[in-house]
Amino acid sequence: MEKNLEPGRHLLYMEWYTGGDVGLFMKMNKILFSGQSEYQRVDVFENPELGRVFSLDGITMTTEVDEFMYHEMLVHVPMFIHPNPKRVLVIGGGDGGSTREVLKHPSVEEVILCEIDPMVIEAARKYLPTTSVEFDNPKLKIVNENGAEYIKQFKDYFDVIIVDSTDPTAGEGGHLFTEDFYKACRDALTENGVFSAETEDPFYDRAWVGIAYNRIKNAFPVAKVYMGFMTTYPSGMWSYTFASKGLDPLKDFNPEKLKNFEKKDTLKYYNEEIHVASFALPTFVKKLIGVE
């Protein structure tokens, strides 16, 4: 790929952050896919620094180079809290990055990926091979349904539910930020069940972090916000919310399990120290979500 295109010799991608006063731009050296689905505009292009970039309605979902930060934090924090995760549901996440991380856990027997938009699955299969790498794994079933409806048929079934959703203000993501949806997730979990959801950035999307956390807290006995860096998401700092019917993300964390994790050398962000440290929140974030 040509690295230094001269001005005027490339196309420009611009993402406006919530509020519309600040944003992100990237050179588009090559457009690999552009399509309009029933739900959203789907694009995949190449950038010399970030590799393949996947965007929906002009909002960055993943880049090849930094997606590990987001997917590892969203997935391994809950997966390492459950003592023996066998059945896992990922809602959203049609690029496949979250299911790739889930399938690194040897106890997992069944994973359902519930992505609303078949065009995302097809684009990922063709143009995002590093995230969609497990799409043909026999343990994985892909369904194209609205996660907020699909979840309702399950009771006491999943060990882990991971919500890898688009922003609440974009596309169909809003369904995955309601209290009814979080309660349906709770009911679909087993007694030891654990949950994680992406809950936006505490800077440009500051209202949403508190809204999502408080709705999750109303649905689950245990709910805690944790954070990580995510370089191409707005503000670069990203929040996630862990929830469960009883297990605690710090007291029930066993670092030995992670030390002995067979796929440990594939992890580039998540480690024993990060698991613990990610629950330490900056003061302005504590204020935002209303905890001491």
* Residues with active-site annotation: 164
Residue 173 within binding range of ligand AAT, rule CB under 6 A: yes
Q: Is residue 237 within 8 Å of residue 249, measured between CB atoms?
A: no
Query: Residue 238 has which token pair?
Result: 């990203």
- Does 146 participate in binding ligand AAT (rule CB under 6 A)? yes
Q: Which of 233, 240, 242, 261 is in the footprint of ligand AAT by CB under 6 A?
A: 233
Stretch that binds ligand AAT, among 153-161, 166-174, 182-190, 269-277 (CB under 6 A): 166-174
Nearer to ligand AAT, 5 or 133 (CB): 133
- Residue 41 binds to ligand AAT (criterion: CB under 6 A): no
Asked if residue 167 binds ligand AAT (CB under 6 A), the reply is yes
**Segment contacting ligand AAT (CB under 6 A): 104-112, 158-166, 242-250, 284-292?**
158-166
Q: Where are the beta strands (DSSP E) in 3-157?
A: 11-16, 23-28, 30-36, 41-47, 51-56, 59-63, 87-92, 110-114, 140-143
Helix (H) or strand (E) holding 240: strand 237-244
Could you give the residue ranges of the DSSP H alpha helices within the chain? 67-79, 97-102, 118-127, 147-150, 179-188, 206-219, 255-259, 272-277, 283-289
The single residue among 73, 102, 116, 162 that binds ligand AAT, judged by CB under 6 A, is: 116
- Of 61 and 189, the one with the shorter C-beta distance to ligand AAT is 61
How many secondary structure helices (H) and strands (E) does the chain include?
A: 9, 13
Cα 236 from chain centroid (whole Å): 14
Give residue 75's Cα distance to chain centre: 8
What's the CA gap between 170 and 161, in Å, rounded? 22
Q: Does 91 bind ligand AAT (CB under 6 A)?
A: yes
Binding flag, residue 134, ligand AAT (CB under 6 A): no
Report in angstroms how near the CB of residue 155 gets to ligand AAT at its nearest.
19
What does the binding site for ligand AAT look like in residue numbers (CB under 6 A)?
56, 59, 61-62, 91-95, 97-98, 114-117, 120, 146-148, 164-167, 171-173, 175-176, 198, 233
